Structure 1
Amino acid sequence: MDNADDAFKDAFYDHLQGELNNTPRHDVILLLGDFNEQVDRDLQGLEHVIGPFGTATQTIENGNRLINFCAANGMSIGNTFYQHKDIHKKTWRHPDGRVSNEIDYVCIAKRWRSSLLDVKVHRGADVGSDHHLLIAKFRLRLKRLP
């Protein structure tokens, strides 16, 4: 979405908000996507949204949109809560091979964050893209019905 105009970006997040509003509150909410956004790991007051292990040192415009969306909806950006080497965090690589960034994210409702066990990049997967495969490990414990 980095080249899209503001109206398109706003429409995307409005549509996403509408879908979230129509989702039952008891459902497990996971939001996964290529947001083409970098989020700063050192934003004060947003520690519940962004963990200490993101790779960006500054937030670009689209990143603010994702951060604000997650904050408004009680979500956390899961990638930023797990410590890994940069090669296991950066999800996109420029075709020239010199630039890579963490721009794909797994967001989860704070209520379910303890069920998200890990998020990391698997570089060996041939996915036919300039993005690496992002793997999220998730554990859900269900209660037996009486």
Structure 2
Amino acid sequence: MSNIVCYAPTNDSTEDRKYEYYEELRSTIDKITERDMNIVIGDFNAKVVRNNQGIENVMGVEGVGEVRNENGTHFVSFCSTNNLVIRGTLFQHIEIHKYTWTPPYGKYKNQIDHIAIKEKCKNL
């Protein structure tokens, strides 16, 4: 088993910085042997939301919110390209257990931290 723990650039970061981040993450994943179960864990600053239409192979419908942010789009695309599945969106949780970050003023609740695993291991 290989675990990769990471922290993605914020949604306000430049596209170049986000591209560099995902290239480095892809390079790290490429170094893991195919027989290993790799788990990617981190704060991706990515709102992936509930709607999984067209990306059912990457995520389920148990995300939080209705509007995917730019980082969410990058993360979903990265997972799709690298045969990863966003685990926290695959099974039901009590709504409050889905939230991974709430801003200090507490008005919004977000699910921006995620665990992604190889698609072939998604039912383990």
Say yes or no: TM over 0.5: yes
Q: Distance in 2 between matches of 1:43 and 1:51?
A: 6
What is residue 4 of structure 2 aligned with on the other side? none
- Once the 2 structures are TM-superposed, how far is the Cα of residue 14 of structure 1 from its aligned partner? 0.3
Give the aligned CA root-mean-square deviation in angstroms.
1.0
What is residue 59 of structure 2 aligned with on the other side? 50
- Of residues 107, 110, 115, the one that matches 1:101 is 110
Secondary structure of 1:100's counterpart equals: coil
- TM-score, scaled to structure 1: 0.75
Are positions 1:30 and 2:39 aligned together? yes
Count of residues paired in the alignment: 115
Which structure's residues are more often strand, by fraction?
1
- TM-score, scaled to structure 2: 0.88
Q: Point out where structure 1 has 5 or more consecutive residues left out of the alignment.
A: 116-146
Describe how 1:67-146 pairs up with structure 2 within 5 A: 67-115=76-124
Which runs of 4 or more aligned residues in structure 1 lie more than 2 Å from their structure 2 counterparts after TM superposition? none
The answer to whether the Cα contact below 8 Å between 2:40 and 2:115 also exists between their aligned partners in 1 is: yes
The answer to whether the Cα contact below 8 Å between 2:58 and 2:80 also exists between their aligned partners in 1 is: yes
Question: Which of the two has higher C-alpha Rg?
Answer: 1
What is residue 8 of structure 1 aligned with on the other side? 17
Secondary structure of 1:114's counterpart equals: coil
Q: Point out where structure 2 has 5 or more consecutive residues left out of the alignment.
A: 1-9
Higher relative contact order by CA 8 Å / sep ≥ 6: 1 or 2? 2
- Percent of residue pairs identical: 32
- Once the 2 structures are TM-superposed, how far is the Cα of residue 45 of structure 1 from its aligned partner? 1.9
Q: Distance in 2 between matches of 1:91 and 1:40?
A: 13
Q: Distance in 1 between matches of 2:66 and 2:94?
A: 15
The answer to whether the Cα contact below 8 Å between 2:52 and 2:61 also exists between their aligned partners in 1 is: no
- Once the 2 structures are TM-superposed, how far is the Cα of residue 40 of structure 1 from its aligned partner? 2.9
Are positions 1:60 and 2:49 aligned together? no
Secondary structure of 1:92's counterpart equals: coil
Opposite residue 36 of structure 1, the aligned amino acid is N
The answer to whether the Cα contact below 8 Å between 2:52 and 2:60 also exists between their aligned partners in 1 is: no
Q: Distance in 1 between matches of 2:106 and 2:47?
A: 18
- Once the 2 structures are TM-superposed, how far is the Cα of residue 3 of structure 1 from its aligned partner? 2.3
